[in-house]
Amino acid sequence: MLKKLTSAALAACFALPSLTMASDLDGLTPQQLLPLAQKEGSVTVFSLSSRIAKIEKAFEETYPGIDLIGLDMSSTKQIARVEAEQQAGVHAVDVLYIADTPVVFTKLLEGKRIVNYVPPRVANELEDRYKAPLLTQRLSTKVLMYNEKAFPDGSPVSNLWQLTQPEWQGRVLMVDPSQRGELLDLLTEIALHPDEMAAAYKAHFGKDIEVESDLQGAGEQFIKDLFANDLILVPNSDVLNKSVGDVNAKNPPVGFGTYSDRRDNEKEGWALQIANNVEPANGILFPAVLTVADKAPHPAAARLLIDFMFGDDTPTGGAGFEPFNVPGDYATRKTIAHHPDSVKLDDLKAWTIDPAKTAAARGRIADLIITLQ
């Protein structure tokens, strides 16, 4: 047994003469990564999106000999699991496909639990802001959604403050922000725009807002008023989408959900649509990032997978990106065209989060929510 192990180790050394560290892999092309990844044999990814199942099939067809193990997992659970495993000395995951960047930056990146990697093949096709501090594959959303069959003339909501009124009492849904960090980011972003929320209040009610003394600005007042109007917190997006989008619903609620979920309208019997013309904004745009876990057990396959998920040179991105080329997802790679049925990115009335500012403020908003539930 010892002889066999020694031979294997020597073979590995001869096969990888210049790759003394995982970072040495960063400059390799997919063609150079492939034989190394095939020797590793597999790659494990935690994914914020269930669409990783489609990527798994396409990746394994493109690169035979590499088993992609894709685990659908919320960003909140990914962060907790990576922290717990690495603290215990376990390094089992290779790639994180994750959002909730305010926490990812502070807990995982600053904690050196992940490593940024930018595939050389696409580096020149990405703006600098999408390459650091972590690699952004696409922009996703948490925005106000409504049922377009029940409301064929357009969104029944044109100002966020309407959601605090009796008409919408108990008829606004949101996935529990304690379970999905992106929803906490949404509420934090609302709080970070007090002037715009105050202007929207005056536009709707015809008078200046009076903010309670224990709150900081009109955004926090909105959050308190929204909870007081019986905001319904649901456990996951499937519950929200069915409740809001059911084609048979007569007087459905609205909800803060994911714009790209309307890709499943026909399959699921939904009529989800984005409420875009909402003052002062309908929600947030946030980055979905791809990153390599520290001490990833399959570092070459991890990089090959990240490269693959940026797609090919066609306008749709080919098999590596097509699962994400849907209305409501926005590619960061310039060669990939946004889906023709999407609201144009420049016309989308959503705030783009600043992860650093959100990170600094989200603790206060989390504490506020606890007092409101």
Which whole-number Å values give the CA distances from 129 to 125, 143, 187, 307, 333, in the listed order?
12, 22, 23, 18, 12
Average pLDDT of span 242-263: 96
Q: Which residues pair with 288 in a beta bridge?
A: 138
With a cut of 90, say whether residue 302 has pLDDT above it: yes
pLDDT of residue 20: 45
Please state, in angstroms and rounded to a whole number, the distance separating the CA atoms of residues 118 and 149: 42
The mean pLDDT of the chain is 93
Please state, in angstroms and rounded to a whole number, the distance separating the CA atoms of residues 115 and 290: 10
pLDDT of residue 1: 32
Tokens found for residue 330: 């926005």
- Enter the pTM of the model: 0.87
pLDDT of residue 179: 87
pLDDT of residue 373: 86
Please state, in angstroms and rounded to a whole number, the distance separating the CA atoms of residues 128 and 108: 21
Average pLDDT of span 345-371: 95
With a cut of 70, say whether residue 18 has pLDDT above it: no
Name the pairing type of β-strands 351-352 and 283-293.
parallel
Please state, in angstroms and rounded to a whole number, the distance separating the CA atoms of residues 349 and 192: 16
Tokens found for residue 59: 């990746």
Digit-coded pLDDT (tens) for 60-89: 999 999 999 999 999 999 999 999 999 999
Digit-coded pLDDT (tens) for 270-285: 999 999 999 999 999 9
Confidence of residue 253 (pLDDT cuts 50, 70, 90): very high
Average pLDDT of span 136-147: 98
CB atoms within 10 A of CB 313: 12
pLDDT of residue 21: 63
Tokens found for residue 52: 């990783």
Can you give the length of the chain in residues?
A: 373
Please state, in angstroms and rounded to a whole number, the distance separating the CA atoms of residues 272 and 102: 28
With a cut of 80, say whether residue 9 has pLDDT above it: no
Please state, in angstroms and rounded to a whole number, the distance separating the CA atoms of residues 165 and 226: 9
Please state, in angstroms and rounded to a whole number, the distance separating the CA atoms of residues 12 and 178: 45
Average pLDDT of span 149-171: 98
Please state, in angstroms and rounded to a whole number, the distance separating the CA atoms of residues 184 and 311: 30
Secondary structure, 3-state, 63-97: CCCCEEEEEECCHHHHHHHHHHHHHCCCCCCCEEE
CB atoms within 10 A of CB 363: 11
Q: Which class for 98: exposed (0-12), middle (13-18), buried (19 or more C-beta within 10 A)?
A: buried
Digit-coded pLDDT (tens) for 90-108: 999 999 999 999 999 999 9
Name the pairing type of β-strands 67-72 and 254-257.
unpaired
Domains of the chain: 21-139+287-342 (3.40.190.10), 140-285+349-372 (3.40.190.10)
> Which residues neighbour 297 within 8 Å (Cβ) at sequence distance 6 or greater?
40, 44, 91, 92, 94
| Helix, strand or coil, per DSSP, at residue 162 | helix
pLDDT of residue 344: 95
With a cut of 80, say whether residue 257 has pLDDT above it: yes
Percentage above 90 pLDDT, the chain: 92
With a cut of 50, say whether residue 11 has pLDDT above it: no
